[in-house]
Amino acid sequence: MKTCNLEKLEYNKILDMLSQLCHTYIGKKFALQLKPSFQKEQVEKLLKETLEATNLIVQKGNLPLTEIADISPSFKQLESKVSLSAKMLLNIAQLLKLARELKQYFFADENFSLSCFVLLNEIFSNLYSNKELESLIFSSIIDENTIADTASAKLNSLRKNRKKLESTIKESLNSILHASQFSKAIMEPIVTVRNDRYVIPIKEEYRNLIKGFLHAISSSGSTVFIEPMQVFELNNQMQALKIEEHAEIERILLELSLKLVPYLKELENDITQIGKLDFIFAKASLAKQMDAICPKLNDAKEIDLKKARHPFLAKEKVVPIDIAIGQNYSSLVITGPNTGGKTVSLKTTGLLCLMAYSGLFIPAQEKSSLFVFDALFVDIGDEQSIQESLSTFSAHITNIISITKEATKNSLILIDELGSGTDPIEGASLAISILDYFHQLGCLTITTTHYAEIKNYALITDGFENASSAFDLENLKPTYQLLIGVPRKKQCICH
């Protein structure tokens, strides 16, 4: 189906609504890339996925889904056996944890029957979890900036030695800070760090009183930061320990990274499967949000929508409509006043078909039924193109010519204001010829019109039926109800 037809029916807005109900970036991606299928077998599968998810939520509650980070950039690093960052390793552990929790959600209850969830069973079964690897990463890495002391015996030993050395250095510096012979030289009795070495703050005028190395001067120039000779070698030992510690952390990160290398395909698959589940359960959530139902699919080339609602109109305000075509007639002509709901009826029919073909439940009453057409063609709105110097009428005709070339007997055609934009008599005659062509082709056609000639033609021609948008004469306003079998009558208001 042409992308422009999807946009005319506001299908993209449905995808936006669906994506907002997804928790993960990959689920949102699946939602925004969703396209309707025009193959019945595939549509049945897509609807069954949504139905299974809906039923599973009823039995087990909401899926324990959380956002996951995009770990795909790490795969090339792992393929090259390059160490990952602590943050990326935590992200992978979180992915494994989520996969494990999802499997527990679905499989934990031994009394739970899986026979009603064939499609979901396959996805949940394809999830890979590795509790040992997950726990190893979480126990080794506290956060993206901190490796746990227990990540290795060597790291633990290095950190203990560093703490002891740090204590020794501070004791030595504190002895200077509190020595009476240096009291007049001390700016503040504190041990601080400059250039990653322990120093003490000395008044600038007494900088030569304490032998050592100058590391920094305060912005005012009144304080200098001195590393006394007594701690010079101890600070060197501290730097050596830090270098060893850093090397050990790099070794730990590389070791953890290499443990993931054998499971690259499983990790990639987990992202896909979690995205699928997120997407499918978002479809179930959208169904609940819209109070939608799973439509029945028929082989009789019929549309039978009961109490159908346009999904973007507030449920408490929208007037549900019944739309039926295909059983006793293949062409439906809708007449009525401007802003009376003709175009909304047309768009509701088209959009609900597209939703069903995408595996989405539709806002209608139970037992609503649809045929899976091989294509859905739409001519709605002003197609005037300044760039191509086409008038509104010419643009519509160009579109309809394209439809006549592509449509088959199993297509659905929706046309708004057929024949408008030109001389009324010529427009009506052309519209009747076009409708007759589609009728002879055998496809289903729903069109809106203001032309009485088309309405009269539908009255006397087999295979055609009239419908009208109801109008409240007493209050002079449309009711937005669709009355099939009732052509719109011209009203005369006398004064």
**Following DSSP, what letter does each residue of 418-474 receive, concatenated?**
TTTTS-HHHHHHHHHHHHHHHHHHT-EEEEEE--HHHHHHHHHSTTEEEEEEEEETT
With cut-offs at 50, 70 and 90, classify the pLDDT of residue 483: confident
Contact between 89 and 249 under an 8 Å Cβ cutoff? The reply is: no
Q: Which domain holds residue 195?
A: 153-237
The CATH number covering residue 412 comes to 3.40.50.300
Please tell me whether residues 260 and 394 are part of one structural domain.
no
Phi, psi (degrees; rounded to nearest 5) at 144: -65, -15
Ramachandran quadrant class, 52 (left: phi over 0; alpha: psi -120 to 50; beta: rest): alpha
Phi, psi (degrees; rounded to nearest 5) at 4: -60, -35
Please tell me whether residues 160 and 198 are part of one structural domain.
yes
Instruction: State the pLDDT at residue 214.
Output: 95
Residue 206 lies in a domain: yes
Residue 457 lies in a domain: yes
Q: What is the mean pLDDT of the chain?
A: 90
- The string of pLDDT tens digits covering residues 253-268 is 999 999 999 999 999 9
Contact between 359 and 283 under an 8 Å Cβ cutoff? The reply is: yes
The structure tokens listed for 27 are 């689920």
| Placement of tokens 């494990």 in the chain | 100
Please tell me whether residues 108 and 227 are part of one structural domain.
no
Instruction: State the pLDDT at residue 494.
Output: 37
- Given 237, 269, 302, the domain boundary residue is 237
- The string of pLDDT tens digits covering residues 336-375 is 766 657 888 999 999 999 999 999 999 999 999 999 999 9
With cut-offs at 50, 70 and 90, classify the pLDDT of residue 487: low
Question: For the chain, give me the number of helices (H) and strands (E)?
Answer: 15, 16
Q: Any idea which of 273-277, 338-342, 377-381 has the lowest mean pLDDT?
A: 338-342
With cut-offs at 50, 70 and 90, classify the pLDDT of residue 318: confident
**DSSP assignment string, 310-372:** -TTS-TTT---EEEEESSS-SEEEEE--TTSSHHHHHHHHHHHHHHHHTT--BSS-TT-EEE-
Residue 107 lies in a domain: yes
Please tell me whether residues 436 and 345 are part of one structural domain.
yes
Distance separating alpha carbons of residues 247 and 292, to the nearest angstrom = 59
Instruction: State the pLDDT at residue 113.
Output: 85
Please tell me whether residues 326 and 441 are part of one structural domain.
yes
Instruction: State the pLDDT at residue 382.
Output: 52
Instruction: State the pLDDT at residue 389.
Output: 42
The dihedral built from the CA positions of residue 25, 31, 35 and 41, taken in this order, carries a sign that is positive
Please tell me whether residues 438 and 336 are part of one structural domain.
yes
Please tell me whether residues 403 and 299 are part of one structural domain.
yes
Residue 489 lies in a domain: no
Integer CA distances (angstroms), 484 to 221, 257, 324, in order: 92, 67, 8
For residue 21, give every residue at least 6 positions away whose Cβ sits within 8 Å of its Cβ, in sequence order, or none. 31, 282, 285, 286, 289
Tell me the β-bridge partners of 472: 477
Residue 19 lies in a domain: yes
Please tell me whether residues 267 and 361 are part of one structural domain.
no
| Placement of tokens 């699928």 in the chain | 276
Q: Which residues of 345-359 are buried (b: 16+ CB within 10 A; e: fewer)?
A: bbbbbbbbbbbbbbb
Residue closest to 283 by CA, chosen among 155, 423, 120, 433: 120
SS (H, E, C) 193-259: EECCEEEEEEEHHHCCCCCEEEEEECCCCCEEEEEEHHHHHHHHHHHHHHHHHHHHHHHHHHHHHHH
Number of domains in the chain: 3
- The string of pLDDT tens digits covering residues 94-143 is 999 999 999 999 998 877 888 899 999 999 999 999 999 999 999 999 99
Please tell me whether residues 91 and 228 are part of one structural domain.
no
Residue 390 lies in a domain: yes
**pLDDT at residue 475 above 60?**
no
Residue 108 lies in a domain: yes
Tell me the β-bridge partners of 477: 472
| Placement of tokens 């059983």 in the chain | 327
Residue 379 lies in a domain: yes
Instruction: State the pLDDT at residue 5.
Output: 79
- The string of pLDDT tens digits covering residues 386-444 is 344 456 677 778 889 999 999 999 999 999 888 676 667 777 898 899 999 999 999 99
Please tell me whether residues 263 and 407 are part of one structural domain.
no
Integer CA distances (angstroms), 106 to 21, 63, 241, in order: 21, 9, 49
The dihedral built from the CA positions of residue 447, 364, 409 and 483, taken in this order, carries a sign that is negative
Please tell me whether residues 266 and 360 are part of one structural domain.
no
The CATH number covering residue 15 comes to 1.10.1420.10
- The string of pLDDT tens digits covering residues 196-206 is 999 999 999 99
Residue type, 122: E
Please tell me whether residues 131 and 272 are part of one structural domain.
yes
